[in-house]
Every structure is written in C-alpha cells, then in structure tokens.
DNA sequence: CTGGGGAAGTTTATGTCGTACACGAAGAGT
DNA sequence: ACTCTTCGTGTACGACATAAACTTCCCCAG
C-alpha cells in the first residue's frame, strides 16, 4: 500500500527523522506545569506531558524523572521558585511575613494544583527549603526559638495553602459540573438550599444559601492572615 | 438438567448457598470506613470494600452507591455523625467552638482519610450541614452576620482540617517508607539535614533538623485554634 | 578514523482501577 | 402460579503507571 510504510518496506525517506535528544528535566517540568495549569491534576498524565513536549512517548519521561512522584516534587519546587524571596528580611517582620504569604498566594492562584500536591509530598526541594528558612530567620530575629518559629511558619502556611486548596477545589467542582454559566451555578445553589430547607433545622445555613453574602475570598484570606500574625505577635517575647 | 450445576458434577452441597440480599448503604459505608482507616485512601478500592463485606463482587456496591464519589460523600457524612454535637449552644461561645473543634480533631484522628476527602467534596451531607449550622448559630448569637459567621467557621475548619491533613500525610509518608522503626526515621531526617546543610544558607532549618524541638502536635493545634478564636473575638461587636 | 559503550526513546506488556452492560436468580405482589 | 422488580454476578473496556527488552544515536578512546 502507500509509501509511508513502517512494516513491509522500510524506506529511510519515508521514516520520520530520528528524534534528537531534546528532553531534560527542566523542559519536562515546565510542560507538566503547563498541563496541570490547564487540565488540572486529573489531566496530568505522563501521556499528556509527553504530548505537550512534542512527539514523545510517555516512557521517555521516566529516563529523566524516574517516577510520577518525582515529577511532583520537581513541579512543587519549580513553582516555589516563582515566589519572590528577599535575600534578607526587611525592617518589619509582619510585612516580611505578610508579603511572603501574599506572594505565595499569588503563585497558588496561577497553579491551583500546588495546594493539593504540597500536602502530599515532603517539602525537601531547595526553593521550598529556602522559603522556609526565610520565615524562620524573620521569626528568630524577633526572639522566637527555632521550634517556635517552625510552629508559626507552619500556621502561616496552613492558612495560605488551606485557602488555596479550598478555592481551587471549589473551582474544580464548578468546572467538572459545568457551572461556568450563571444559570447552572444558580441551579446548583438552589438545589443545596432546598436540601438545607428540607431539614427544617438549618435556618442560618438556609439564609446564607438564599443570600450568599460576606467578604470576598481576598478579604477572607486577609482576615485569617491577620489572625495568625496577631497571634504570633502576642507570643513573641 | 440438574439443579445448581455450573460444571461437570451438579452436587448441591458443593455449591455455595445462594447469596441473600444483605447489602445496604449503611453496611457498605461502614465497611468502606473500616478499609480506609486500616489501609488508607490508596487501599480504598471497590474491590477491597466488597471483600470486607463478605464474598461480594465489586459491582454489587454500585447498586447502592452508584459511584465511588457517592461513596466518598456518604463516608464523610457518616464520619461527621460521630462528632458529638450539642442540640443548643451552651453559655460560652468560645467553649462551644473550641469543644467542637477538638471533637472534630478527635474524629479525624480516628479517620485520617477524612481531611483529604473533605477538601474534594462539597459539604452537603445532613450531618455536615448540621455541624456547620451549629457553628453559625453560636456566632450569630454573638452578633455576627451570617456572612461573617460563615467566614469564621471556615477559618476554624481550615485550621482543624489543615492540621489533620498535615499530620495524616506525614503518617502516610512514614508508613509508605517503612519509617515505623526509629533507625529508619532517624536516617530519613539525617538525609534531609545533609540536604539542608549542603545548601549552606539554611542555618535555622539545619539546626532544627539536628535538634527537632517545639510544641507537640496537640499544643500546636491549640495554639493555632487560640489564634483563630482570639481573632474572632476581636471582630465581634 | 573507528568501534564500542552508554544514554535516550520506543515498543510491548502487565496489573490495577473504576465502571458500563447484559444477564440470571430471588423475593414480593397479584 | 405468574409477573415485576430488585439485587448481585460475570464479562468487558478504557485509563493509567510503569517494568523490561529493544533500537538508535552520540561521544570518546584507541
């Protein structure tokens, strides 16, 4: 049959040009991040990453990242590298920590998968370690012990990544159920409200589902962050 | 033809007694929770749940729960039902919220998978709704609007489930890498410390990895919870 | 210039999952 | 006794991660 034979008649001219060595960790991680940003963690398969790099087979990636979990670790550290990190703490410890928290939040907004993965992997990447070291330095300079500083840093990150996780999972649900247009979203809320109203003992929840009100996500984040920073301030010597 | 026969020799006695209708949601959910408690979320497969119920096929479950996500929802609500919930708020709003947070934490200690799933599913189960309503009631009685109460309740839960998530994922890592005995755990920490020390710019982190110190998980939880409750108190009218 | 070793990518295969579908058998209601 | 419904099974399919064996190419030592 046709001249594009791979089986019967191997004419060199019709064969695809041999693949040059084009892959490395950086490219693979960048492609994986691109895929995860666009398709979510569910869409992050080895096949999809390979396809995002060109005509590669999924197995090609294993030569460079040796497992999907390894790829996760590299993705986490690459995303963490995007967070601007001062070389030295500035004059105001609260500003230092607040700014870092806000920048971290901005990164998680670009990479919604981050908050999911960060809870599943140990934070051993170099950029993640440097970021943590910065928080520790800021707190230790205010008189905290290293153990206390670890506790406070963990509380800040709990809030940052907790917010990010909740918001990204909400967005995921909406995308999965096609709630992007207002009509569907309204219907989904109405269904929830009916459920709550049917119980009969949920007046406040029903009210909120009828008139959802309250601070924006951004304001909610700031409120919680202030709670943590105020709390830390109250415990510094 | 002979009755009961599937193969060559139709002896009724060698046939298993026909399966009676024994499954229902409750049993399935209880079995699923048992499996997840013991084997973790990775071990929670339809096959494992069916096996935990007796000689059932995995497909039998679908008659009652229609999908694995549906099973997740039922598991979340069943676990939430284990949290003691007063019918009415008591005299002290802080005590009410703190007690609920602590009881919730006790539940997540029994069911480490809870914190993972709760972030992935909408909290629409009746018990989850009642629990939320309780928090809203407590806060609204102190003068918060429903919108504010939602914000504060979310912050409390963020801390409770964030702690649980972190602790359960740490435990999972340790189990997965067989760090149950001290020698291996020590080696793992040493490896991390080498990594940190090699960077050269991570003195505080290195110090902490050399002498891990600080509050116990329980104390850390209490500290963060106080931060949130203090913050709420400062914003109530 | 050459040939051999190792690295990069592909093909093929394996085992595990969730779950759709069609079937058969076991009560329940008439 | 007959039918309708409800429950559980067997089989099958398509993803997915990844192991193993194979092929092709590059580079460097002689």
| CB atoms inside a 10 Å sphere around CB B28 | 24
Confirm if A196 and A206 have CB atoms less than 8 A apart: yes
Kindly tell me if the per-residue pLDDT of A166 is higher than 50. Answer: yes
Confirm if A115 and A108 have CB atoms less than 8 A apart: yes
Confirm if A113 and A76 have CB atoms less than 8 A apart: no
Contacts with B230 from chain A: Cβ below 8 Å: 227, 230-231, 234
Would you place residue B11 in the very low, low, confident or very high pLDDT band (cuts 50, 70, 90)?
Answer: low
pLDDT in tens, A187-224: 889 999 999 999 999 999 999 999 999 999 999 999 99
Cβ contact A220 with chain C strand, < 7 A? no
Q: Which residue of B has its CA nearest to A201?
A: B130
Confirm if A146 and B213 have CB atoms less than 8 A apart: yes
Q: Which residue of A has its CA nearest to B156?
A: A224
Q: Which pLDDT score, from 0 to 100, does residue A128 have?
A: 97
Contacts with B166 from chain A: Cβ below 8 Å: 119, 154, 158
Rounded CA separation B57/B23 (Å): 11
Cβ contact A69 with chain D strand, < 7 A? yes
Minimum-distance CB partner of B159 among A129, A158, A202: A158
Q: Which nucleotide is nearest to B24 (CA to C1')?
A: D7
Confirm if B121 and B73 have CB atoms less than 8 A apart: yes
Q: Which nucleotide is nearest to A54 (CA to C1')?
A: C9
pLDDT in tens, A114-126: 999 999 999 999 9
Question: What sections of A121-181 are H helices per DSSP?
Answer: 126-141, 146-176
CA distance B102 to chain A (A): 17
Share of chain A above pLDDT 70, in %: 91
CB contact under 8 A, B228 and A230: no
Average pLDDT, chain A: 91
Q: Which pLDDT score, from 0 to 100, does residue A1 have?
A: 35
Tell which of B112, B192, B204 to mutate to test the A interface (max A CBs under 10 Å): B204
Q: Which pLDDT score, from 0 to 100, does residue B6 have?
A: 40
Share of chain A above pLDDT 90, in %: 81
- Domains in chain A, CATH or no CATH each: 16-66 (1.10.10), 93-235 (1.10.357.10)
Tokens of A47: 């096949």
Tell which of A174, A202, A235 to mutate to test the B interface (max B CBs under 10 Å): A202
Distance A16 CA to C10 C1' (A): 13
Q: How far is CA A224 from the centre of its chain?
A: 19
Distance B185 CA to C19 C1' (A): 40
Q: Which pLDDT score, from 0 to 100, does residue B176 have?
A: 84
Confirm if A202 and B133 have CB atoms less than 8 A apart: yes
Q: What is the sign, positive or negative, of the torsion defined by CA atoms of B162, B164, B167, B173?
A: negative
When pLDDT is averaged across residues A21-32 and rounded to a whole number, the result is: 92
Tokens of A160: 């940052």
Q: Which residues contact A167 (CB under 8 A, 6 or more apart)?
A: A112, A217
CB contact under 8 A, A213 and B147: yes
When pLDDT is averaged across residues A43-72 and rounded to a whole number, the result is: 96
Rounded CA separation B7/B1 (Å): 12
Taking the Cβ of residue B173 and every Cβ of chain A, the question of whether any pair is shorter than 8 Å is answered with yes
For chain B, how long is the longest CA-to-CA vector? 83
Would you place residue A129 in the very low, low, confident or very high pLDDT band (cuts 50, 70, 90)?
Answer: very high
Q: Which nucleotides of C are covered by protein (CB under 7 A)?
A: 8-12, 16-22, 25-27
Rounded CA separation B26/B28 (Å): 5
Cβ contact A59 with chain C strand, < 7 A? yes
Rounded CA separation B158/A148 (Å): 21
Cβ contact B74 with chain C strand, < 7 A? no
Taking the Cβ of residue B81 and every Cβ of chain A, the question of whether any pair is shorter than 8 Å is answered with no
When pLDDT is averaged across residues A2-20 and rounded to a whole number, the result is: 46
pLDDT in tens, B86-124: 999 998 999 999 999 999 999 999 999 999 999 999 999
Average pLDDT, chain B: 91
Cβ contact B166 with chain C strand, < 7 A? no
Distance B15 CA to C25 C1' (A): 15
């Amino acid at each position: 049959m046709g001249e594009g034979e791979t089986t019967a008649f191997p004419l060199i001219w019709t064969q695809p040009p041999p693949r040059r060595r084009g892959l490395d960790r950086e490219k693979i991680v960048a492609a994986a991040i691109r895929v995860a940003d666009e398709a979510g963690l569910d869409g992050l398969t080895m096949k999809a990453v390979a396809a995002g790099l060109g005509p590669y087979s999924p197995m090609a990636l294993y030569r460079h990242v040796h497992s999907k979990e390894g790829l996760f670790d590299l993705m986490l550290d690459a995303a963490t590298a995007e967070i601007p990190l001062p070389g030295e703490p500035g004059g105001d410890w609260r500003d230092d920590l607040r700014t870092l928290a806000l920048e971290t939040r901005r990164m998680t907004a670009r990479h919604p998968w981050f908050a999911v993965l960060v809870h599943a992997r140990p934070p051993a990447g170099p950029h993640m370690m440097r970021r943590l070291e910065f928080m520790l330095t800021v707190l230790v300079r205010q008189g905290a012990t290293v153990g206390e500083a670890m506790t406070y840093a963990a509380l800040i990150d709990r809030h940052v990544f907790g917010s990010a996780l909740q918001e990204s999972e909400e967005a995921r649900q909406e995308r999965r159920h096609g709630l992007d247009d207002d009509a569907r979203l309204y219907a989904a809320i109405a269904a929830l409200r009916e459920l709550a109203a049917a119980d009969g003992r949920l007046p406040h929840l029903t009210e909120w589902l009828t008139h959802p009100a309250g601070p924006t996500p951004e304001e909610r984040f700031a409120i919680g962050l202030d709670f943590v920073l105020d709390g830390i301030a109250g415990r510094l010597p």
